[in-house]
Amino acid sequence: MPPMNQRHDLVERASILLIVLVGATAAHAQTNMSMIIFPWEEGEVVEIESEFLFQDSADVEGSLNLDADLQWYAAEGRWRLDSAMDFGPTLGFETEYLKFSSTSPLIPERLVDTSIAFGSGITETEWGGILMTVGLGFAGDSPFNDSDAVYAEANLIAVIKESEDEGWQIAINYNGNRTLWPDIPIPTVNYYKKVSDELFFSIGTAYNIVRWTPNETFRLTAVHKSPFTIDLTAEFEIVPNFWLQAGFHNRFNAYHLDGDVDDRRVFFTHRRLEAGMHWTPSPNFDLVVAGGWAFDQELERGWDSRDLNTVVELDDAPYLRIALEAVF
């Protein structure tokens, strides 16, 4: 049997290869309730998105000669098994792999969060339906080698339609790796409405979305996923199929470190401002190449976001991001 560090290297390479092979082929799908409630376009059965972020060295705040590089690989997708149903059986996956190269002993070498899930409608009626999702995930620094980093997630959702373009989503959500109140089932309520072809919104306790397209050359998207994930993006088409884009992104994720007590996790905050180019050669494929500035980066330790202690803070740093999306 190879030594422990070689086994970690093998798992690391296999994890990155999985992300590249699955994700590099590319819309927003996950292992939470969005995998089943977000509508499909006619004829679509597969959505895949992949993202690669390469961040330059950032100094460790308060130190003289410690720094850290960051490589961030992510992929997520869903596969509709029965396209004849609005809420047909669906498989979903989500993977994030953060690799740090650091001279600080306080920064882990890797942080991994990967999960798979199944979702389906239980009943469908003219007024909506009852839906469910169940999933299993791992969030830690020792991929699949730490039982305390394994978590379950599940949703029971009632979709109540007031019309084809308006309705309510009432759910009970369980997520063993939630950054706030993990392991506690939480009720959520969302109201959604397609006001026109130019404007759609959904507001509530699970997530908030606004999509505004006032004309064919400009679009604005704002997404908030409870509690602290934020994506704001503005895009302007300069020539057919080429868009300039600018955005703000906030990530706040939790991980259990191998060997730590079971009721303590590490939380990584990563905020960034960016600008770049978005190319859409066909309705089924997108490519984004962007650069930006990462700031307010820190690792904290605690049980959930209500009571955290700072472990280490990183200075601001530039980064390059490449994202691919595809729909089949």
Residue-range domain boundaries for the chain: 4-327
Query: Which pLDDT tens digit goes with each residue over 263-284?
Result: 999 999 999 999 999 999 998 9
Percent of residues, the chain, with pLDDT higher than 90 = 80
Query: Which pLDDT tens digit goes with each residue over 66-105?
Result: 999 999 999 999 999 998 888 899 999 999 999 999 999 9
Give me the pLDDT at residue 188, please. 96
What is the mean predicted confidence (pLDDT) over 146-158? 97
First to last CA, the chain: 42
Residue type, 287: L
Q: May I ask the CATH architecture of the domain 4-327?
A: Beta Barrel (2.40)
Query: Measured between alpha carbons, how far is 157 from 204 in angstroms, rounded to an integer?
Result: 14
- Exposed / middle / buried, residue 4 (Cβ in 10 Å: 0-12, 13-18, 19+): exposed
Percent of residues, the chain, with pLDDT higher than 70 = 91
Q: Model pTM greater than 0.85? A: yes
Query: Measured between alpha carbons, how far is 282 from 168 in angstroms, rounded to an integer?
Result: 33
Are the C-beta atoms of residues 114 and 95 closer than 8 Å to each other?
A: yes
Query: Does the structure show a pLDDT above 80 at 27?
Result: no
